Amino acid sequence: MEFNLQSQDSNSGARAGTLTTAHGQIQTPIFMPVGTVGSVKAVTHDQLMQEINAQIILGNTYHLYLRPGTDVLKAAGGLHKFSGWPMPILTDSGGYQVFSLAANRKIKEEGVVFQSHIDGSRHLFTPENVIDTQRAIGADIIMAFDECPPYPSEYGYAKKSMELTHRWLQRCVNHMAATEPLYGYEQNLFPIVQGSTYEDLRRQSAEFVASMNCAGNAIGGLSVGEPEEMMYELAALSCQYLPADKPRYLMGVGTPWNILENIALGVDMFDCVMPTRNGRNGMLFTSKGVINIRNKKWATDFSVIDEGIACHTSNYYTKAYLRHLFIAGEILAMQIASIHNLAFYLHLVAEARQHIIAGDFAAWKRATVDVLKQRL
């Protein structure tokens, strides 16, 4: 996997790069739509490629391990072939879902024992077997197994948790080295910086992660309830100690303005369920601000959803029609809103990239954030 930086902003930490994977190139900064079980909710592959301009999607190891399971994925030749998604895939390690979804989880040195949220069956995730599962999924980018401590966490807990994550990371690195890809193409491990909200821990974790010399690095444990300013400070700190010549991935972030601010801090990759989840609830992110489309005020607004971006769906359906579909409980409402929101996120990172290359990113970002945050 290769990462080439084309441009660095002189007034911020923002960078424009190209990440080359076995399934194609990714122009950074990039947003990765979340495709939990190998499907971005309510969006077809065609729409992802043609309307949204997705370059890479994310799969959740926890979900894919439970359903359809590694046997089916192996029989298909991996998730790309199973789902028909031909472009890059990143999988998380399953750690986050074990903590947020599974029942009766117990953390041990070996790994985490938990019960499936689907049928209550018992499972053990270890650094080694989550690498094996991600090998079976065939992800282009594999995430290390980590513990994501809640916010707030006490210093003692945060430190112990980080140290466990580091020991697990070493085991992941070892197991990656000891195993081969199953489908003949390269897979790369990204380790994850933890350390909760403590600056010394964040620094220590970023330095340890950097020392692993992986193809890319991630920042975890943020956007879990802490104030936005704290997230920015900790992301900035993490970026500072992560190598500049490797892509930096901030996990689970966030709103459009969160993404712009973190691009300014040196982050290259993002994922978040917000555009799809909020979209399904009728919240739209647009080039003019935030819309609650269920609001009565849109009932006879026959202007299109967002003419500020080059997405067919956003330029075709009107606000009044989309509101009607939401009020009537039509599935098409969720489809349109999900396509629009994802297209908007991809538009936004593509715009950011252009401004980084053009050299006016910082000024553009300041002006844009104010517009995007407006409630319409």
59 in Cβ contact with 38 (< 8 Å): yes
Binding of a second copy at residue 328 (CB under 8 A)? yes
Instruction: Mark 128-161 as b/e (b = at least 16 C-beta within 10 Å).
Output: bbbbebbbbbbbbbbbbbbbbbebebeeeebbeb
Site string (155-194) toward a second copy, x via CB under 8 A:
----------------------------------------
Binding of a second copy at residue 367 (CB under 8 A)? no
Site for a second copy (CB under 8 A): which residue of 107, 320, 369, 376? 320
Does 119 participate in catalysis according to the annotation?
Answer: no
Binding of a second copy at residue 316 (CB under 8 A)? yes
Question: What CA–CA distance (Å, rounded) separates 316 from 311?
Answer: 9
Site for a second copy (CB under 8 A): which residue of 14, 143, 237, 336? 336
Question: What CA–CA distance (Å, rounded) separates 263 from 314?
Answer: 25
For residue 68, give the nearest of 100, 37, 114, 113 by alpha carbon. Answer: 37
Residues touching a second copy, count (CB under 8 A): 41
Site for a second copy (CB under 8 A): which residue of 7, 25, 41, 129? 41
Binding of a second copy at residue 61 (CB under 8 A)? no
Interacting span for a second copy (CB under 8 A) from 132-140, 153-161, 294-302, 349-357: 294-302
- Catalytically annotated residue among 92, 140, 268, 306: 92
- Catalytically annotated residue among 9, 146, 271, 306: 271
Structure tokens of 181? 């890809």
Interacting span for a second copy (CB under 8 A) from 64-72, 207-215, 216-224, 225-233: 64-72
Least Cβ distance, residue 37 to a second copy (angstroms): 5
Question: Position of tokens 């019960």?
Answer: 115
Interacting span for a second copy (CB under 8 A) from 39-47, 91-99, 153-161, 164-172: 39-47
Q: What DSSP state is assigned to residue 34?
A: B
Q: Which is nearer to a second copy, 84 or 227 (CB)?
A: 84
Does 245 participate in catalysis according to the annotation?
Answer: no
Least Cβ distance, residue 327 to a second copy (angstroms): 6
Binding of a second copy at residue 256 (CB under 8 A)? no
139 in Cβ contact with 185 (< 8 Å): no
Structure tokens of 66? 């439970």
Residue numbers 84-103 binding a second copy by CB under 8 A:
84
Binding of a second copy at residue 62 (CB under 8 A)? no
Would you call 312 helix, strand, or coil by DSSP? helix
For residue 305, give the nearest of 296, 315, 294 by alpha carbon. Answer: 315
4 in Cβ contact with 18 (< 8 Å): yes
Q: What DSSP state is assigned to residue 329?
A: T
Instruction: Mark 239-271 as b/e (b = at least 16 C-beta within 10 Å).
Output: bebbbeebbbbbbbbbbbbbbbbbbbbbbbbbb
Least Cβ distance, residue 89 to a second copy (angstroms): 14
Binding of a second copy at residue 310 (CB under 8 A)? no
119 in Cβ contact with 86 (< 8 Å): no
Binding of a second copy at residue 283 (CB under 8 A)? no
Q: Which residues does the annotation mark as catalytic?
A: 92, 271
Please report, as ranges, the residues that interact with a second copy according to CB under 8 A: 37-46, 63, 67-68, 72, 75-76, 81-84, 299-300, 302, 312-313, 316-318, 320-321, 324-325, 327-328, 330-336
